[in-house]
Amino acid sequence: MTSIAVAEEVRAALVEGQAVVALESTLLSHGLPPGRNRKVAERLEAVVREAGAVPATIAVLDGQPLVGLNAHQLDRVCDPAAGLVKLSRRDLGPAIALGKNGATTVASTVALADAAGIRVFGTGGLGGVHFPLPSRSASWDVSADLDALADTPVLVVCSGVKSVLDIEATLELLETRSVPVLGYQTDMFPAFYLRESPYSVPWRVDSAEQAADVVVAHQATPGRSGVLLAKPVPIEYEMDRATHDRLLADGIRLLAERGVQGRDVTPVLLEHFHTASEGVSLDANEELVVSNVTLAAQVAVELAKR
């Protein structure tokens, strides 16, 4: 098995049974502009510490999987000149063998977190089932994030999935793969920039304690699936729905015109939203991630008590 380099602070926390929260690096390298990404990286690690947990940002540098990054390594992740490629779980082996630099998605972050013994992960949005392109009657474009959740016992805290995805099909697939979906103080599944989609959540929790109780109980049942905890974007940062719908329609046309598929969809769509909304979506993106990571740390602390 490939050796995973776990930062000493993270390793010590795990040995002592302290709360640890995994953080992805794709948000930093591909989801936010240079400069802002580094500030967000610091902010995310700070809110984890403020909640009483230890942050573990995950990436692959020079072919080495890293769980917990120092300041220099965070600089590399946030530097466009470093040329980090976007790594899903299937890409870990090639990136490691070829000595590449890569940023981890939800799927690969969950995999490496699990290997290191981390059970809680805070992020922005989950991948899901894509709608078919106009030239096709069906879509086989399904994010590896869903399979990762289905066979990895990690709690993933996010703001649902982006509204460019087929949310109904995504929720159906999570049900098929026996992944519990919890709404945090909401009965409706969030749609990233929007607090609500048209679809309800199967279960609701109203506190970090309740969420931790569910995780403990779920892990005591047969199977290895994780748990999805969906928290809406803070209300003051929710995008205006009319603006959102217009940008989404324009973004879908842009994807079709360029023939964008697979792992390239999210970066292209995010860039369109960031540019066309004149930064409004950037603020929403940052604040929802911070909110989710804060909740993830609170739940991790509760789990550590157990």
Active-site hit among 24, 238, 286, 302: 24
**Beta-carbon contacts of residue 85 (< 8 Å; ≥ 6 apart):** 91, 95, 100, 101, 102, 103
Active-site hit among 45, 86, 162, 302: 162
Q: How far apart are CA 160 and CA 196, in angstroms?
A: 9
**Beta-carbon contacts of residue 278 (< 8 Å; ≥ 6 apart):** none
Decide if 257 is catalytic.
no
Q: Which secondary structure element, helix H or strand E, spans residue 47, and what is its range?
A: helix 36-50
> Largest Cα–Cα distance of the chain, in whole Å?
54
Strand segments (E) across the chain? 5-6, 20-23, 54-61, 64-67, 85-87, 102-104, 120-122, 155-158, 181-184, 203-205, 227-230
CB 277 within 8 A of CB 239: yes
CB 231 within 8 A of CB 284: no
Q: Which two tokens stand for residue 60?
A: 């692959």
Half-sphere exposure in the Cβ direction for 204 (13 Å, CA): 9
- Please give the backbone phi and psi of residue 64, each rounded to the nearest 5 degrees, phi first: -105, 120
Decide if 162 is catalytic.
yes
Catalytic residues: 24, 162
